Structure 1
Amino acid sequence: MSTRFEELAWSETPRGTISLRRRLEPTLKVDVYEVKLDEEFLMSSLFTVAEVELARLGLAQTQGTDLDIVVGGLGLGYTARAALEDERIRSMIVVDAMPQVIDWHERQLLPGAAELVQDPRTRLVLDNFFAMAASDAGFDPDAPGRRFDAILLDIDHTPRHVLHPDHAAFYTADGLRQLTQHLKPGGVFALWSDDPPDDDFNALLSEVFESSDAHVVTFANFLTGGESANTVYVAR
């Protein structure tokens, strides 16, 4: 356990000041790692069940062995680390647009960062996931046009509540169709969302992909004394 509060890193970015901090959660007596962009909380290690389930649910629908996958959004690393627990993973590209986030992991400021960055299957790529998705070159700078078995995405809060207006085009039929060009036949796209299942968005996924399901992931919330929930969409 650490001191009650410690700012581990901060930096000015074109989108505002990004900071990583560690604080002691007195109720649970555990260290909590949080990322803020100005005054907006981007991510927290306090509730990570759905981030882990994004990897597990997405890969559960992914067929085959020697899987090559993409994770959109490095964050605190929970989705990427959960993906590596699947022994079928041959390679994993993790795309993040913020050099600071990649730097935190490479400097091992976060729990589990060492096991992630030192795994030979992992490659961290500094780039804009949404621009890569819309391009013909795709997600591997060393192999333009390369296709993947699964793409797992956790960047925006929801398909309707995006972190930057430029992201909105991705959550349209055209944007999703472009994404399918980077998947192998039968490949899987999985998406984390902070909102309950959105019937309209799930219908949009079903229009572009052969199948789509919205999974509600519940977890205990000590702040409310009850349960909270996120959604994981899985499309093939």
Structure 2
Amino acid sequence: MARLFEQIDSQPSEIGEITLRRRRIPALGDRDIYEVKLGEEFLMSSMFVDAEVALSNLGLEATEGDNLSVVVGGLGLGYTAVAALRHERVGELLVVEYLEPVIRWHQQENVPLGKDLNADARSRYVHGSFFDMAVADPESGGFDPEAPGKQFDAILLDIDHSPRALLNDSSASFYTTDNITLMARQLKPRGIFAMWSNEGEDPVFMDVLKEVFTDVVCHVVSFYNPFQNRESFNTVYVARKPG
């Protein structure tokens, strides 16, 4: 019989202890549930991935063209990245992750979707801070360390819980008009920026997006929460760079 709980790994990181756990809840079915914690805070559970998948689907459905170059900010348990690779128009996927242990979990296939990411030649892990890379000088930096100044068709972000609920205070300045504008330099004309949030539509952040982008929409993604026996929701912002 499989154990009901197992701590797979726990490692120090730049922003605290990061832990990968696996559990089974018999009342919810015979399947493994993977969880990531930062200190005592839950970052992600494989129980709730609808919006992470929707982030890729909504963002890439809005993206024009073929052989798309795509950045995913935040690896997590890999659901956004793998959902992006299911789109045949994606020609290249860079997954930017600040926490090196999270990359190792996927490289060593300690999480189920690591195998999918490792087996797809279009996918590449990039260890670094998404927020620092987003505002880097395009002549010498950016999201692709092998190609400074490169522009992308889509940037899909899933790191903070929302523009107000941050994993680390250092990212607060990103959600401003100035820094969103700097990030947009790394998008091709008419490229797409999409972002996951655990909260409802943020009017202040919507105004920021509308100052930089066109066609700004905040989608509500509903899903069933068995712990609360009711529907829950996340949101996905999608915005297009003018061009």
Question: TM-score scaled by structure 2?
Answer: 0.95
Counterpart amino acid of 1:145?
A: G
Unaligned runs of 5+ in 1: none
Does 1:220 pair with 2:224? yes
Residue 117 of structure 1: how far off its partner (Å) = 1.6
Of stretches 128-137 and 195-204 in structure 1, the one that deviates more from structure 2 is 195-204
Does 1:197 pair with 2:201? yes
Determine the structure 2 residue equivalent to 1:166. 170
Q: SS in structure 2 opposite 1:211?
A: strand
Counterpart amino acid of 2:4?
A: R
2:189 is matched with which residue: 185, 190, 209? 185
Report matched runs for 1:124-139 at 5 Å.
124-136=125-137, 137-139=141-143
Q: What CA distance in whole angstroms lies between the structure 1 residues aligned with 2:224 and 2:135?
A: 37
Counterpart amino acid of 2:120?
A: D
Count, aligned residues: 236
Of stretches 146-155 and 113-122 in structure 1, the one that deviates more from structure 2 is 113-122
Determine the structure 2 residue equivalent to 1:27. 27
2:15–2:168 CA contact under 8 A, matched in 1: no
Residue 55 of structure 1: how far off its partner (Å) = 0.1
Does 1:16 pair with 2:16? yes
Q: SS in structure 2 opposite 1:57?
A: helix
Q: What CA distance in whole angstroms lies between the structure 2 residues aligned with 1:55 and 1:174?
A: 25
Q: SS in structure 2 opposite 1:27?
A: helix
Determine the structure 2 residue equivalent to 1:57. 58
Residue 25 of structure 1: how far off its partner (Å) = 1.7
Residue 115 of structure 1: how far off its partner (Å) = 1.2
Residue 211 of structure 1: how far off its partner (Å) = 2.1
Counterpart amino acid of 1:14?
A: E
Unaligned runs of 5+ in 2: none
Q: What CA distance in whole angstroms lies between the structure 2 residues aligned with 1:170 and 1:54?
A: 19
Percent identity between matched residues is 51
Q: SS in structure 1 opposite 2:24?
A: strand
Q: SS in structure 1 opposite 2:145?
A: coil
Residue 203 of structure 1: how far off its partner (Å) = 1.7
1:2–1:23 CA contact under 8 A, matched in 2: no
Q: Which runs of 4+ in 1 moved over 3 A?
A: none
Determine the structure 1 residue equivalent to 2:150. 146
Cα displacement string for residues 181-232 of structure 1 (whole angstroms, at most 9, x for unaligned residues): 0000000000000001112211210111022100000001111111000000
Question: TM-score scaled by structure 1?
Answer: 0.98
Determine the structure 1 residue equivalent to 2:180. 176
Counterpart amino acid of 1:148?
A: F
Q: SS in structure 2 opposite 1:64?
A: coil
Counterpart amino acid of 2:170?
A: D
Cα displacement string for residues 53-93 of structure 1 (whole angstroms, at most 9, x for unaligned residues): 00000001000001000000001000000000000000000
Counterpart amino acid of 1:223?
A: F
Q: SS in structure 2 opposite 1:16?
A: coil
Does 1:155 pair with 2:180? no
Q: What CA distance in whole angstroms lies between the structure 2 residues aligned with 1:204 and 1:4?
A: 45
2:77–2:113 CA contact under 8 A, matched in 1: no
Q: What CA distance in whole angstroms lies between the structure 1 residues aligned with 2:118 and 2:178?
A: 34
Cα displacement string for residues 158-191 of structure 1 (whole angstroms, at most 9, x for unaligned residues): 0011111110111000010001100000000000
Q: What CA distance in whole angstroms lies between the structure 1 residues aligned with 2:168 and 2:57?
A: 27
Q: What CA distance in whole angstroms lies between the structure 2 residues aligned with 1:82 and 1:223?
A: 25
Counterpart amino acid of 2:10?
A: W
Q: SS in structure 2 opposite 1:20?
A: strand
Q: SS in structure 2 opposite 1:201?
A: helix
Q: SS in structure 2 opposite 1:50?
A: helix
